[in-house]
Amino acid sequence: MSATQSLAQFVSTPLEERLSRDHLLHARERLLDLFRRTAREVPAYRDFLATRQFDPASVRTYEDFARLPLISKRNYITAYPLPARCRGGTVSGSEILAMSSGSTGKPFGWPRSIEHELEVATRFEHVFARSFGADRRSTLVVICFAMGSWVGGMYTAQCCRYLAQKGYPITMVTPGNNPAEILRIVEDLGQYFDQLVLAGYPPFLKDVVDRGLTGGLDWSSYNVKMILAGEVFSEEWRSLVCERLGAGDPAWATASLYGTADAGVLGNETPLSISLRRLFGAHPEAARTVFGESRLPTLVQYDPCSRYFETHQDTLVVSADSGVPLVRYHIADKGGIFGYDELLQRVRDLGADPLTGLDEDGVAPLPFVYLFGRADFTVSYFGANVYPENISVGLEQPDIRNWVSGKFVLHVVETAQRDKELHVIVEISPGIEPTAHLAEVIGASIRSQLLRLNSEFANYVPAAYQAPRITLRPSGDTEYFPAGVKHRYTRK
């Protein structure tokens, strides 16, 4: 199908058709078709199967598909040159190359074409139409992701253009991750639209919101919504930022996207998934019962006709078409999947109504995927896994949050006596004086939330070692919190 035909089909297809149960019935049929085309057209995948003595002709059913060997960055992406991983053995069939962040090594190039972007545009459409009402409100989208070869900014910009071509009253502006320019645009242009959507990385958007408040900006006059990506955050964080924006119900004012450079946007938050996550956030024991962890995962809904999820040893596997087709690709994010009816029944079994307060716009019969992020972003302390999400909640408590930016670095230090200490370096807000008393209060808040949220910490760590050592650093500290760099919350 040509680019013009793909765009015409996207423009003419109602969103409701992509969200219907009838649409979802074809997921496994499409999955088998993706496998057959990839085995036939992609030289690297043919060789990958041949070296493992796997006959593609033996895959006739979904049960056969589930026997296929997993591909990964190590055994496939780095093992074969880029052209060999593309259809026809050439990169020239794709229109754009995006770069991964390089967080696991050197950056990788990921080619894609308009037909692949349109699959992702449907995830944006779900958010804009069902959550933000952007099909009937004039909307200024301010893209605050870095603009360049990296995937987030360009992907978001392209998808917003496709929605505008479909008839959505959306206007896009692309200042990138420049706080001063973002705030100038909001003040100069925001008044001309019914609503304003900020799209960016959560810590960066919070910094923009706080800078605006410091400069006297009245965010509440712009009816602000947020599209977020790239990081697990707490529900306390969501509530805090919505409060500072003067936004309404966070379930309808925010949406996080689960995406990777490898496969594009894999799923999106919905009012239903956010409401469920907020329910689990308020009841940690219920979250442990359902997700098996002391921390709260990101919870999104996904279209298995576009991105098909499986699990392998409590980690996620995805199949998706793109410039580099991925068949049973082990992305290694820790998490799992639930069917739509399955998760709702689990919530009912806990004594709650999962659909309370939601109308038909907030509910779609799509399955759920949950993820905790990469396991290497945790630290081990007395045998307990300590997660950045647990520390975040301690910094987002009402008596703490105005003193800190929300950024921190977590690591374990061995003393000269060979004892272990849990250290947290915390970035304080501009104008805040770093004092021993402030560090003590912050440490007590973090310890309290660790004991509440993390059962391993509460049971494994002796009481004498539970209080974290807090170091306060100024805003923008070049060693720990340099500007313009994607922040890492842990150090080994």
pLDDT at 106: 62
Beta strands in 276-325 (DSSP E): 298-301, 307-312, 315-320
CA 326 to CA 108: how far, in whole Å? 15
pTM (2 decimals)?
Answer: 0.83
pLDDT at 373: 64
CA 431 to CA 441: how far, in whole Å? 18
Residue whose token pair is 């915390």: 426
CA 54 to CA 385: how far, in whole Å? 38
3-state SS class at 467: coil
Q: List where CATH 3.40.50.2300 sits in the chain.
A: 112-376
CA 274 to CA 188: how far, in whole Å? 32
Give the pairing of strands 139-143 and 170-173. Answer: parallel
3-state SS class at 43: helix
CATH number of 112-376, picked from 3.90.1150.10, 3.40.190.10, 3.40.50.2300, 3.40.50.1820? 3.40.50.2300
CA 91 to CA 227: how far, in whole Å? 31
pLDDT at 465: 87
- Read off the DSSP letter of residue 490: B
Angle at Cα 161 formed by Cα 186 and Cα 103, nearest 5°? 80
pLDDT at 386: 86
Beta-carbon contacts of residue 51 (< 8 Å; ≥ 6 apart) = none
Retrieve residue 248's tokens.
């309404």
* Complete DSSP assignment for 55-78: -GGG--SHHHHTTSPPB-IIIIIT
Retrieve residue 96's tokens.
């754009």
Residues (pLDDT < 70) of the chain are: 100-107, 373-376, 417-419, 484-485, 492
Residue whose token pair is 């089909």: 9
Phi, psi for residue 425 in degrees, rounded to 5: -95, 125
Q: List where CATH 3.30.300.30 sits in the chain.
A: 379-473
Domain 379-473 part of CATH 3.20.20.140 = no
What residues does 287 pair with on adjacent strands?
Answer: none
Model confidence pLDDT, tens digit, residues 74-95: 999 999 999 999 999 999 888 8
Retrieve residue 9's tokens.
């089909």
